[in-house]
Amino acid sequence: MQEKYKSLLMPLLASMTLGLAPFVPEPHVLGKIRWVLGGAKGMQIMDWGDLLMHGAPWIWLIFTAVHVFIIKKK
């Protein structure tokens, strides 16, 4: 059972550190997501790259969790 959760450790650690940095006043990725949901007006290429870099750990965590909890279950 512990082996199952061991594969989630690195994606979870990356999501909690790189995915949420900087932590104050709000996680950077949340601000970028709000900006995109608001129409992404004024976003430049650097902002899209920033969203990709801060969002990548979360995508990794989601894929790993799906693999561990859904695909391996079968």
- pTM of the model as a whole: 0.81
Q: Is the peptide bond before 22 cis (omega within 30 degrees of 0)?
A: yes
Supply the pLDDT for residue 59: 96
* Contact criterion met (CB below 8 Å) for 12 and 38: no
Q: How far apart are CA 23 and CA 12, in angstroms?
A: 16
User: Predicted confidence band at 1 (pLDDT cuts at 50, 70, 90)?
Assistant: low
pLDDT in tens, 18-73: 888 888 888 888 888 999 999 989 889 998 998 999 999 999 999 999 998 888 76
Supply the pLDDT for residue 27: 87
* Contact criterion met (CB below 8 Å) for 54 and 15: no
- In the chain, what are the domain boundaries? 2-71
